[in-house]
Amino acid sequence: MPDYSGHMTHDEYIAIRREELLGIARDVLNNRILGVEACVRMAPMLGELNLRQDEDLLIIVGVDSECDYIFENKKLSPKIHKQHATHLTACEEGYRKWIRIACEKLLGHYAAKWEVAESDEELR
What pLDDT was estimated at residue 50? 94
DSSP string, 9-38: -HHHHHHHHHHHHHHHHHHHHTTSS-HHHH
| Residue bearing the bigger pLDDT, 68 or 110 | 110
**For residue 86, pLDDT beyond 60:** yes
- Distances, alpha carbon 37 to alpha carbons 22, 66, 96, 109, 110, in Å: 15, 11, 11, 22, 21
| Residue bearing the bigger pLDDT, 81 or 45 | 45
Give the global pTM: 0.81
pLDDT digits (tens, 9 = 90+) for 96-121: 999 999 999 999 999 988 876 655 55
**For residue 87, pLDDT beyond 90:** no
